[in-house]
Structure 1
Amino acid sequence: MLVLGDAHADDPENRRALLAAYRQADADVALQLGDLLHYDLPIPTWFIAGNNEDFDVVAALRNGLVTNSRVDNAHLLASTAVDLQGIRVAGLSGNFAPTKYDRPRANLVGERRRHFTHEDVQAAMDLTDVDVLLTHEAPHGLPVAEEYDVGCSHVDDLLNALDPELCLVGHHHEHAETTFGDTRVVSIAPAWERYYSLDPDTLALSWSDTPGS
């Protein structure tokens, strides 16, 4: 199973790197950790929305109303789960904004649709039997290099509720690892640097350099 980090594939060079990773990996299905920005994909890909997306496309995917010919094989995980190759994968789309968290999702408009709300977190907490959780925000304790304190208490709460074996995190454009309780947490490098393979039997991750990186 292919795993891809942030793509920012509205940029032509990043898009070439993304598609090169797909070709090189030659996988049947993929997971992607947000900031995708290109939704016409070679194989079925389950992704979470990041803080940089085409939010009209994301809204359409949320509501099952996609008619855009440039959207193919892109499946949104938004407080939902899917069974893939014998594992259950769930995703929380969006990032955290304290001024938006308590608002109804229906009240978020424009670029503010990038955020997750209390409704989204609660819906994710109601999921069961999750093996792998995808988030764009990190839980506390992830050792990535940022100019702010990394860690979102709502992601902490979600990990405590779901207790997945593995949590994959986007957003930080850096590979880093930690544990949160019994969960292994891995920040995924961007798609223009690396692509990863996830063994569905063991949940072990391996990675390779993206061609041309």
Structure 2
Amino acid sequence: MAPQSLLVAGVGDIHGRFHRVEAWLDALAEARGRPVDLVLAVGDVEAFRHADDHRRKTAKRAMPAEFAEYADGVRTMKRPLYFIAGNNEDFEALHDAPEGMQLAPNVHYLGRAGLKEILGLRVGFLSGIHAPRFYEQPLKRPRSLDTAKQAGYFRAPEVETVAALRDVDLLLVHEWPRGLPQRAQEREVPPPGRTLPNYWIGNPITRRLVETVHPKWVLCGHSHRAFAVTLGGHGVKPPTRVACLDQATRPDESVFWMEFQGREVVRAGWGISGKESWGGGQPWGLASLPAPPEPEPVGTGY
């Protein structure tokens, strides 16, 4: 019997925009001619259960408080969505569930750090970003804006948990591993219209995790731009393909889909057109990115 085929969609920082993400996934399913089986979000989801909480605490206050409709049962997510925490979340609601919880039907918080088997895939994850001052400090209950902000930083024991993982199909992190632009520049010239990100983007802790765990794929967000690069692949260690996702403003760079045959990705693509941009055995890097958006036309004026 052939291994089960799965269509998995990675989504960048949602920042409360649940309605548009669902519409994008509907379009992707139609374009691929099959259901989206699983959605993985890389943090800054901002799943505030109450509209008032969203308005008082969210980072993107101009966005509507859409998750409250799912929490109240007014709407139901059409396919299972699993997310890690970024540095902008409803940490008061998430604090007592460090190993994960269901927030609404088909909406699952994975937890602060660990491994979950989902539809036969081994998914490792680390929530939050790196803040050296708080790395060794205990996590406090988020009772104020200050302690809520601190809850968005990962801690040393959580990193140790992830560092012990092996045989990982997908690793979800919020903040980029440090050094991706340098690694890309060593191998490739950016295509026309593409520029490399800032040299200092990302953090060294996540980079060491990737080099220790050797996941097959890494999905990350936080920096609000798309990027693609391969790490490792020397000697007996398999390569790790990294896909960084933009925030959910336009689908071309904030949605990244992967079709799995068993536990191996056989094809992948950006956006919701269904167009394949990578197939098994092909190189993964800057050339795998979607075409950059067309510049806005300049008005002639009078």
**Structure 2 counterpart of 1:47, from 68, 79, 83:** 83
State the structure with more CA Rg.
2
Provide the residue aligned with 2:211 in structure 1.
160
Unaligned runs of 5+ in 1: none
Corresponding letter in the other structure for 2:38: V
Provide the residue aligned with 1:178 in structure 2.
229
**Maintained 8 Å contact 1:61/1:75:** no
Distance in 2 (CA, whole Å) between partners of 1:15 and 1:50 is 16
Provide the residue aligned with 1:3 in structure 2.
10
Larger relative contact order (C-alpha < 8 A, sep ≥ 6)?
A: 1
For 1:1-213, list aligned pairs within 5 A: 1-9=8-16, 14-26=17-29, 27-38=36-47, 40=70, 41-62=77-98, 71-77=104-110, 78-106=112-140, 109-143=147-181, 149-181=200-232, 182-194=239-251, 195-201=255-261, 202-203=264-265, 204-209=267-272
**Higher share in strand:** 1
Corresponding letter in the other structure for 1:116: F
Q: Say if 1:209 and 1:200 are closer, same or farther in 2 by CA, change over 3 A.
A: closer
Distance in 2 (CA, whole Å) between partners of 1:205 and 1:172 is 22
Distance in 1 (CA, whole Å) between partners of 2:198 and 2:213 is 29
CA displacement 1:149-171 (0-9 Å, x = unmatched): 11311111211221111111111
Distance in 2 (CA, whole Å) between partners of 1:18 and 1:200 is 21
What's the secondary structure of 2:116's corresponding residue?
Answer: strand
Unaligned runs of 5+ in 2: 1-7, 30-35, 48-66, 71-76, 182-194, 233-238, 274-302
CA displacement at 1:138 relative to structure 2: 1.0
Q: Say if 1:43 and 1:75 are closer, same or farther in 2 by CA, change over 3 A.
A: same
Corresponding letter in the other structure for 1:163: H
What's the secondary structure of 2:106's corresponding residue?
Answer: strand
Select between 160-169 and 100-109 the one with higher mean Cα deviation: 100-109
Q: Say if 1:47 and 1:65 are closer, same or farther in 2 by CA, change over 3 A.
A: closer
CA displacement 1:25-82 (0-9 Å, x = unmatched): 341221111111135333221211011111123224426676x6xx332222321222
TM-score, reference length from structure 2: 0.61
CA displacement at 1:104 relative to structure 2: 1.8
CA displacement 1:80-104 (0-9 Å, x = unmatched): 2222343211110001111111112
CA displacement 1:187-207 (0-9 Å, x = unmatched): 112233122221123424212
